Amino acid sequence: MIPAEPAEEHRTVAGVFGEKVRGVGADGWDAPTPVAEWRARDVVRHLVEWFPAFLADGSDLRLAAGPDVDADPVAAWEHHAAGVQALLDDPATADVVFDHPRLPLLHLPQAISQFYTGDVFMHTWDLARATGQDDTLDAERCRVMVEGMAPLDEMLRQSGQYGARVPVPEDAPWQDRLVGFIGRDPSWRP
């Protein structure tokens, strides 16, 4: 099970994603992914690029720019993940109120956990599946996410963040249910 405390949760989830990033072969960065029109490097690009803007929209905190994803996706990810982890590990940010214009007020660690760390978790499957690595996700975390997102299904679809739900059997493993919920075909292969 993945730890519930935001700093440890991120350390675990980002660590697993980092293993997948480091596991991509030199010729694997252009591999297609389960996300239409994305290549493996675009999974890293997405995480490295959207979070700094999200952070800036809700706080005065900024992450230092890192290496270019096209030049070195591994270095780009490691720099980015270390910056997010430093925010979560800093006791001074624990009480920072994240005041994003489209969200309720949250403390920064909870905002990172709820919106960013969960995204890293889900995209771990995308990168692993695209590059032929072990794509097994924590089943309990998958269950919690599916059960938490299910009541928000219509709102999540309207946000444009998820594709059309891919039907899976009701007794499918939680990972397949999560992958289907976010618009991926659990049987997708490159």
- CATH assignment at residue 38: 1.20.120
Radius of gyration of the chain (CA): 16
132 and 146 housed in the same domain:
no
Neighbours of 104 (CB within 10 A): 8
pLDDT at 87: 96
pLDDT at 51: 95
Neighbours of 97 (CB within 10 A): 11
Domain that holds residue 66: 6-136
pLDDT at 104: 84
Which residue, of 98, 118, 136, is where some domain finishes? 136
Residue with tokens 């030199």: 26
pLDDT at 4: 82
pLDDT at 67: 97
Q: Which residues, including other chains, have CB under 8 Å from residue 174's CB and lie 6 or more apart?
A: 139, 140, 142, 143, 146
What's the CA angle centered on 19, arms 18 and 20, to 5 degrees? Answer: 90
Calpha distance 124→13 (Å, rounded): 9
pLDDT at 152: 77
Instruction: State the 10-residue block means of pLDDT for the chain, 190 residues long.
Output: 87 98 95 95 97 94 95 98 97 91 88 94 97 97 92 74 88 96 94
How many domains does the chain divide into?
A: 2
Calpha distance 45→62 (Å, rounded): 17
174 and 104 housed in the same domain:
no
pLDDT at 154: 78
